[in-house]
Amino acid sequence: MADEAILVGDVGGTNVRFALAYPKDGRITLSEIWKRAGAEFPSFADALDAFLEETGARPDGAALGLAGVVINDRIDLINRGWTIALADVRARIGGKRLVAVNDFVAMARSAPDLDDDGLEPIRSGVRDPDGSAAVGGPGTGFGIAILRRIKPGWVVVGGEGGHQAYAPQTPLEWALAEAMRQRGVDVSNELVSAGAGFELTRDCLAEVMGVGRRDMSPGEVIEAGLAGDAFASAFCRLRAATVMTAMGNLALISNAAGGVYIAGGVARHLAPWLDEPEALERFHSRGPHTPMLERFQISLIVADAAPLLGAAHLWLDERERGWL
């Protein structure tokens, strides 16, 4: 149907975004994106109702990227405190077909279809269009996914890899990890580099650097880091190193000859530090496999619409193949 309209959503720990996607000839056109803070709504159902009422949308189906894991037709958004019953979502869209996936699965599915305007190069390299691709990065949490090319298109494998154990490599990082462990937390890549762990990481880093408490917001840290403030610069480089180490591991696991894509709101703010030599070394320094990782192309996803486009493509994939 050339005129079908698919409700697409990107539901993270901070914001809720909806749009209508109009597929035609293998391409997706989006309506204006509806964006609200999740904190404005007691539940996901309230946010969805607000979108449907404000826009008058009557979609032919829906595809949602949700910051959690779908289990038994339910999903818990840990960083938002919502539990979503997919049967209730289906009822709200009139019983139409619903595709619900982890938000980074949707983000990953967008990567092969993004043009140059949606990507910012971090490092040039060789990209095999038929090779696997690795997608990941920090927003409120840290998401990962792997893409694999098959004859009918793409398969996306998601997971909770952002919760992998943090791997300190410098004396400062070891001291930071120990300070965080002393607070009784499981020190993960997500905790160190994503929004959910911002205050704890900031305070522990200030402690081990001996600079006293620095009560700065995320935006203030970025601004101060760009201005050369020693603590803020160290904080930004720490997070960039964590991202690049995690993405190098993911690229190694997936043999990401099809490209490495870094995504997430926090990652975009860290862009000035992601392509520094020290950060790139953390990506590719893997002993005998260093030359392989040095060849991989690395891009930053900067298109705001990426997860919504990816959700729409997944809806089409599922309709065409009957599976994802």
Q: pLDDT grade, residue 160 (50/70/90)?
A: confident
Same domain, 245 and 286: yes
Which run of H or E residues covers position 122?
Answer: strand 119-123
**CATH number for the domain harbouring residue 185:** 3.40.367.20
Same domain, 211 and 122: yes
Tally of domains within the chain:
2
- 186 domain-assigned: yes
| Reported pTM | 0.93
Same domain, 176 and 35: no
pLDDT digits (tens, 9 = 90+) for 94-153: 999 999 999 989 999 999 999 999 999 999 998 999 999 999 999 988 999 999 999 878
Token digits of residue 235? 């904080």
Residue 160's domain comprises 115-302
CA–CA distance, 104 with 226 (Å, rounded to integer): 28
Q: Could you write out the DSSP letters of every residue in 235-252?
A: HHHHHHHHHHHHHHHHHH
- 239 domain-assigned: yes
Same domain, 266 and 148: yes
- 231 domain-assigned: yes
pLDDT digits (tens, 9 = 90+) for 192-213: 999 999 999 999 999 999 999 9
Same domain, 158 and 210: yes
Amino acid residing at 247: M
The per-residue pLDDT for 38 is 95
pLDDT digits (tens, 9 = 90+) for 259-292: 999 999 999 999 999 999 999 999 999 999 999 9
- Residue ranges of alpha helices (H) inside 144-197 are 171-181, 189-193
**CATH number for the domain harbouring residue 13:** 3.30.420.40
- 87 domain-assigned: yes
pLDDT digits (tens, 9 = 90+) for 46-90: 999 999 999 999 999 999 999 888 898 999 998 899 999 999 999
CA–CA distance, 137 with 189 (Å, rounded to integer): 10
- Residue ranges of alpha helices (H) inside the chain are 44-55, 86-92, 103-110, 171-181, 189-193, 198-209, 218-226, 230-254, 265-269, 271-274, 277-284, 290-295, 306-321
- 108 domain-assigned: no
- 110 domain-assigned: no
